[in-house]
Structure 1
Amino acid sequence: MPKFYTVDRAGSMNVNSIFELSTNYPEKQMWTVDGLYDEKDVIARIEQFYPKGLSTHGIQYLITGGIVIFEEGTRSPLHITYTEPMIEAIFELVRKNEFPTLPSRMQSMFAWLTLEDARRFNESVGNDKSIFEVNSNNAFIADQNLLFLGASVIGAYELARKYWSGDRSNNCKLEAVIPLPAVIGNKI
C-alpha cells in the first residue's frame, strides 16, 4: 500500500487514530446571510451534496471560512477575505461535473508523497508540527501548484480541469488527496 506523509498542523493526530468524516455541523460557526439563508439551509445543502459528511478541510472551506463580510443591514461589502474558499468551490464544481469518481477535497485529508516534502512544508509553517505516515490505496495525486484562480473565471475552470486530469505544471508540487476514513500511521 502506498505510503504518504502528513503534517499535523492541528495537533490532533495520534498513531493508529482514524481520520473520519464528520456530520456534526451545528457546533461549527456557520456563515449565513440574514433574510436569504440560515443554518438549516446550510446543513440541508451539505447533507444533499455530502450525505456521508465532511472532512476537517471541507468544514473549514464550506462552513467556517467566510468569503465576504457585509455591512450590517446592507449588501455593501466591508471586507473580502481569502480566495481559498472560492478556489475550493470552483475545483469542487469541476470535479463533480467532469471527474465524479475522484475523491472530493471536501471529504479528504492531504499528504505529501515524500518525507522530504513533508519536512519542507513543516519548515514553512514553523517546523514545530509532527509528521505522520498515512497509507492509502485510494489517494489521488495532483499538482498543488494548480490550486489558484488564474487570471479569469474560465481560467480557474481550466486550472481545476488540469488539476483533476492529473496534469503537472513546470514546477509541480505533488500532493496526495486521501479520501476519508484514513488510518494515521507511525509518527516520524
Structure 2
Amino acid sequence: MSIFYSVDRGQSLNTGDILDLATPSCPIKPLAAHTLSIFDNGVSYHANNYFFNYQINLVQSEERFGATIEMLLEERRRNSFPEKPSRFQSLFACESVREAAWFRGFSKYSIDTPIFEIHASAG
C-alpha cells in the first residue's frame, strides 16, 4: 500500500472516504456511449467532476472542446502508452505533505484548504 497526499480543492472529501471508480457521466450524447465502452470498469471522481462537468470544463454551446480534447488525448494514451495510467481513472496527489502544501500555495488555495492522506492499493 502506498501513501500519498491530496489537496481537497473541491472540499468534497471526508475522513474515511473510499475513492472507488464510478460510472462515467458524460453529458455529451455522441461521447457518452464511447466513454462507457472504454471505461467499463469506471472513472474517478475527478473525471466525472472535472472532465464531464458543464460548469467546469464544458462550455454551454455545441462547441464542447474540453471533453472532446480530453477524449482525444485519452485515445492517444491508449494507443501509444497503454501501460500508463489513464487520467480518467486517477487522482492527483503528492508524495509528501510538504509537496501538497506547496501545491496548495502555488495554486492560490487558502491555507485552510484540507490536505488528505490517501492510502492507495496496487492496481
TM-score of the two chains, using structure 2 as the length reference: 0.74
Structure showing greater relative contact order (alpha-carbon pairs closer than 8 Å, 6 or more residues apart): 2
Q: 1:16, CA displacement in angstroms?
A: 2.1
Equivalent pairs, count: 118
For structure 1, which runs of at least 5 residues remain unmatched after alignment? 33-38, 71-76, 139-178, 180-188
Q: 1:127, CA displacement in angstroms?
A: 2.3
Q: 1:56, CA displacement in angstroms?
A: 2.1
Alpha-carbon separation, structure 2, partners of 1:129 and 1:85: 31
Percent identity, aligned pairs only?
A: 29
CA contact (8 A) 2:52 2:67 kept: no
Question: What's 1:156 paired with?
Answer: none
Whether 2:110 is the aligned partner of 1:120: answer no
> 5 Å matches for 1:70-81?
70=62
CA contact (8 A) 1:3 1:135 kept: yes
Question: What's 1:61 paired with?
Answer: 51
Q: 1:44, CA displacement in angstroms?
A: 1.2
Question: What's 1:135 paired with?
Answer: 119
Alpha-carbon separation, structure 2, partners of 1:20 and 1:57: 11
For structure 2, which runs of at least 5 residues remain unmatched after alignment? none
Q: 1:17, CA displacement in angstroms?
A: 1.1
Write the letter of the residue equivalent to 2:110: G
TM-score of the two chains, using structure 1 as the length reference: 0.52
CA contact (8 A) 1:57 1:106 kept: yes
| Structure richer in strand, relative to its length | 1
Q: 1:63, CA displacement in angstroms?
A: 5.3
CA contact (8 A) 2:5 2:97 kept: yes
TM-aligned CA distance change 1:108 to 1:47, over 3 Å = same
| CA RMSD in angstroms, aligned pairs only | 2.9
Write the letter of the residue equivalent to 1:121: F
